[in-house]
Amino acid sequence: VGREHVLSAPDELLGFNTDWTGRFVGNAAAVVRPASTEEVAGVIAACVRNGWPVTAQGGNTGLVGGGITRAGGVVLSTRRIDDVRVDSAAGQVIAGAGATLGSVHERAQQTGLSYAVDLASRDSATIGGTIATNAGGLRVLRRGDTRAQVVGIEAVLGDGSVISHLGGLARDNTGYHLPSLLCGSEGTLAVVTRARLRLSNQLAARAVALFALESAKSAADAALHLRREPAVEAVELMLRLGLALVCEATGLPAPFPGQHAAYLLVEVSAGEDPLLALEPIVEGLAAIDVAVAADPAGQRRLWAYRERHTEAINTLGPPHKLDVTLPLDAFAHFVDTVPGVVEGTRPQARVWLFGHAAEGSVHVNISGLDPDDEAADDAVMTYVAALGGSISAEHGIGRAKVRWLSLNRSEAEIAAFGRLKQALDPAGILNPGVLLGQRI
């Protein structure tokens, strides 16, 4: 890859050995930065020969410790593979693994199209990372997660062999769908180097409204009604303390004269006038207060209250990040009761709830605990599983959730995971300890 693309000085390694939250610190001996699929294959072959673990890393914004290594070896940074080419005839984009989500959005928009997956970390998160973690984000309700967008993939398997299927044919039914397998595989089966992604038409005109509501439970209930409104694209939940913390940490002005127990941010799109599409929603919600934005700058200002939760919470020290989905009929009850579950286990903890309420999904962030004290995490995870929910809605398992995987996955499923791992990464060098833990 060229000597200048191998980093090994301690200060150069620091950012690659620490996850975005600061909770997970790794011990890679070097960072290797290949610029092409061929170079990735060469790096992996060299690592197989030497028995060095390889941890693929994109923007390092995954939040569950999946991009850092505790087994030494190398971090393989994909960031130099950052080409983006739109195939407008097919309505698809071909992007290198290291291209940021933001750069894919920009290129798609220049051709009158849009890429469905969007996240607050869009300017750091990479296409390879979003595929490896099957990232969800803000538009899952109508447009699906990353897996729903991937048409073709190029990747290097754990034995150094390259698989490439990037033709992008509209109909192509020729066996195992490897993009589906690699989406969410968290760098344990292959290193994704390039992908062909589905683009959609640009969203119709949009409007965003921020509603102030009287309780977390009533906001969660309302979100589940809103998901059935055809114009609604996104419904995001925030609570009083979280929004106040965002304002304090970022300097954003408070959205309303007073503070309120809960907030819903609702985005609608409509062919004609999105404000008209908002009207029945405003009437139906009977909120305490509402702020509406029809212009893009105003919409960005309202979204910022929601998107900046992650950075605001990190100002309090590394949080424990839980990211769960509940069956829709258990969601409001969960939102109402989960703070009590945490406080009952660790009274000193502070709980922050926010997230993708239309899908019954919420981020439970807990601050004020030692990084290794997982008693509150355990109580929440057990509670989620007992209610029939998922212990990881969109961030994946990484290192942070390994011990709870069996709450959601049967022994037979985990054994099948192990056989896939053995087949595609026979030397066991790809991201050891992540997703499957030490089981394999």
Q: What is the CA radius of gyration of the chain?
A: 22
- Closest approach, Cβ 394 to ligand 2HG, in A, equals 6
Amino acid identity for residue 148 in this structure: A
- Closest approach, Cβ 27 to ligand 2HG, in A, equals 25
- Closest approach, Cβ 285 to ligand 2HG, in A, equals 22
- C-alpha dist (Å) from residue 78 to 16, 305, 308: 12, 31, 26
| Cβ(304)–Cβ(250) below 8 Å | yes
Residue closer to ligand 2HG by CB (options 79, 363) is: 363
Residue closer to ligand 2HG by CB (options 63, 95) is: 63
Residue closer to ligand 2HG by CB (options 120, 405) is: 120
- Closest approach, Cβ 355 to ligand 2HG, in A, equals 6
Query: Looking up tokens 């970390």, which residue turns up?
Result: 121
- Closest approach, Cβ 13 to ligand 2HG, in A, equals 25
- Closest approach, Cβ 397 to ligand 2HG, in A, equals 15
Q: How many residues would you count in the chain? A: 440
Residue closer to ligand 2HG by CB (options 63, 131) is: 63
Instruction: Give the span between the Cα atoms of 350 and 353, in whole angstroms.
Output: 10
5's tokens: 């693309």
Residue closer to ligand 2HG by CB (options 33, 309) is: 309
Instruction: Give the span between the Cα atoms of 186 and 147, in whole angstroms.
Output: 13
- Closest approach, Cβ 184 to ligand 2HG, in A, equals 15
Residue closer to ligand 2HG by CB (options 155, 234) is: 234
How many CB atoms within 10 Å of residue 327?
Answer: 12
- Closest approach, Cβ 245 to ligand 2HG, in A, equals 12
Per DSSP, what are the bridge partners of residue 392?
323
Where do contacts with ligand 2HG occur on this chain (CB under 6 A)? 63, 120, 310, 321, 323, 355, 363, 365, 394
Smallest CA-to-CA distance from 56 within 68, 46, 48 is with 68
The four Cα atoms 228, 234, 235, 237 give a dihedral, to 10 degrees, of 160
Residue closer to ligand 2HG by CB (options 356, 421) is: 356
Residue closer to ligand 2HG by CB (options 69, 365) is: 365
Residue 437: which region, alpha, beta or left (left: phi > 0; alpha: psi -120 to 50)?
left
- C-alpha dist (Å) from residue 108 to 152, 271, 307, 426: 17, 20, 22, 38
